[in-house]
Amino acid sequence: MKTGVLHIPRQAASMLFAVGAALLIAAPVAAAAGAAGHRHVPFGSVERYISVLEEEGRAAWQKPRRVIDVLPLDEGDRAADIGAGSGYFTVLLAEKVGPRGTVFAVDIEQEMLDYIERRLRAEGIGNVVTVLAGDDDPRLPEEAVDLVFICDTYHHLPDRVEYMRRLKKVLRPGGRVAIVDFRAEKTPVGPPLSMRLSRSQVIEEMEAADFSLEGEFYFLPYQYFLVFMLGGVFL
């Protein structure tokens, strides 16, 4: 495991790009999530929902490879992708930890996990384990992972502080939790403002669950990117 997370200086976004129509309906997608945390596949089919998650234009603002590059993970480590969805980040995590590592793709929708398993077979990826989670329980073994990655999912959790307390048992010594979610301000994509959480609220909730903010990255135009560890801060 890496022992620290670099603080990346804030950079102003200068790239202009077109956002596809599928991404512009991301807010209705998020609004379809149930109060108890269920995603409830929108558009009447898993395939249509996946097409939104995997839309080519998403990479311009989500910057998935850069996100994965800065995560405190080494080859051979274990990671959990909470709210794995279509496996958008799962496959990149699997690439980063390599064949000696393991990624747990965690989701509460079996249909999404079925899709991920088909994708893994098609892409020849053998170091991912799918996990059907409960609304309030990731259902992972104790000390199973070095990093928990939560992208665009934290705000859906029904009892976030309690959920994060459960995750403490899942982490190996020195493990981290990385959270990427939409800022509590109007953006071209993302959930309704009423569903968003401010950066300060996330930090407050994580501290209530005995986590400390270790590092932060600023290169995402619409989202905060926070890395936490248990107890004190080590930089």
In a domain, 120, yes or no: yes
Where residue 232 falls among pLDDT bands split at 50, 70, 90?
low
Do residues 160 and 154 touch, judged by C-beta distance below 8 A?
yes
Burial class (CB in 10 A: 0-12, 13-18, 19+), 189: buried
End-to-end C-alpha distance for the chain, whole angstroms: 14
Provide CB contacts within 8 A for 120, sequence distance 6+.
Answer: 87, 91, 126, 128
Domain contains 216: yes
Domain count of the fold of the chain = 1
The answer to the question of residue 225 being in a domain is yes
Token couple for 85: 């969805």
Average pLDDT, the chain: 84
Average pLDDT on 38-60 reads: 72
pLDDT, position 54: 83
- For residue 182, tell me if it sits in a domain: yes
Structural domain boundaries, residue 78: 21-230
> pLDDT tens-digit profile of 88-97?
999 999 999 9
Higher pLDDT, 78 or 51: 78
Residue 185 lies in a domain: yes
| pTM of the predicted protein model | 0.81
Torsion angles phi and psi, residue 207, rounded to 5: -65, -35
| 150-172 pLDDT tens trace | 999 999 999 999 999 999 999 99
* CATH number of the domain that residue 127 is part of: 3.40.50.150
CA distances from 201 to 2, 226, 235 (A): 27, 12, 22
- pLDDT of 3 over the 80 cut: no
Interatomic CA distance for residues 190 and 173, integer angstroms: 34
Q: Which residues of 17-46 are buried (b: 16+ CB within 10 A; e: fewer)?
A: eeebebbeebbebbeebeeebebebbbeeb
- C-alpha 47/C-alpha 41 separation (Å) is 9
* Confidence check: pLDDT of 33 > 80: no
The whole-number pLDDT of residue 18 equals 28
Model confidence at 214: pLDDT above 90 = yes
State the amino acid at position 55 in one-letter form. Answer: E
Whether residue 5 is predicted with pLDDT greater than 60 in this model: the reply is no
Report if residue 16 sits inside a domain: no
Region for residue 85 given its phi and psi (left: phi exceeds 0; alpha: psi -120 to 50; beta: otherwise) = left
Residue 37 within a domain: yes
* Cα–Cα dist 122/114, whole Å: 12
* 12-21, 22-31, 70-79: which is most confident: 70-79
* Domain annotation covers residue 11: no
148 or 232: which leads in pLDDT: 148
pLDDT tens digits for range 170-201? 999 999 999 999 999 999 999 999 999 999 99
91, two tokens:
């496959």
